[in-house]
Amino acid sequence: MGAKRTKRKTRLSGRAGRTNGFPLLAPAPCGELFFLYSGMIRFKALLEKFDAKGEKTGWTYVAVPEKIAQQLKPGNKRSFRVKGKIDEHPIKAVAMVPMGEGNFIIAVNAIMRKAIRKIHGAKVIMELEEDKATLKISEDLSTCLKDDPGALKYFNALPQSHRNWYSNWVKSAKTDMTRSKRIATVIRGCTQQLNFREMLKQYREERLF
């Protein structure tokens, strides 16, 4: 028999305790507890929902305070992706959206809410680490961009995280018709040099008519 393997447990601050075999750490700004376990941040959070918040209106989300975000990616205040779990539902390539002063949010979409059977107002357990995997841009979107040099040039000049927003929006379409409409909207938005928020606003306004 070889030597028993030990798991490293790191105490950050605050009064120590244990839950489900994990060491509890300092109270997070959101009022719950979080801890670091083998490179993974685990914390309790509240599902919240925006009322009027521009392009985020109606979003259900989890707030990730600066103190926790800095454990995921120290020194960073820009959008990045994470993977892990929300309750017992696995997630990957999920965007951490900056909200200023080092704070972030994670949008909890309908698929996630259905999987965990919770809506805003409920508490969840988040288990996260940075997702460093490279995302592939939608093949359909890439093919159509090649047919419009101006749109392609603008798209390629965007930060990788912004290109992922456009691509994920196209990939999330549930029907071929919706996917085609979104691709056309992205191409036109890039031709007009609109940012993602401006493009979404234009898309939504057109759907009203």
Domain ranges of the chain: 9-130, 139-207
Is the pLDDT at 155 greater than 50? The verdict is: yes
Report how far apart the first and last C-alpha atoms of the chain are (Å, whole number).
72
pTM of the predicted protein model: 0.61
> Are the C-beta atoms of residues 83 and 92 closer than 8 Å to each other?
yes
Q: Is the pLDDT of residue 95 over 70?
A: yes
- Average pLDDT for the chain: 82
Write out pLDDT tens, residues 7-35. 444 444 434 444 444 444 444 445 454 55
Half-sphere exposure of 185 (CA within 13 A, CB side): 24
Mean pLDDT throughout 86-98?
A: 92
- Select 9-130's CATH number: 3.40.50.300, 2.40.30.10, 2.40.30.100, 3.30.470.10: 2.40.30.100
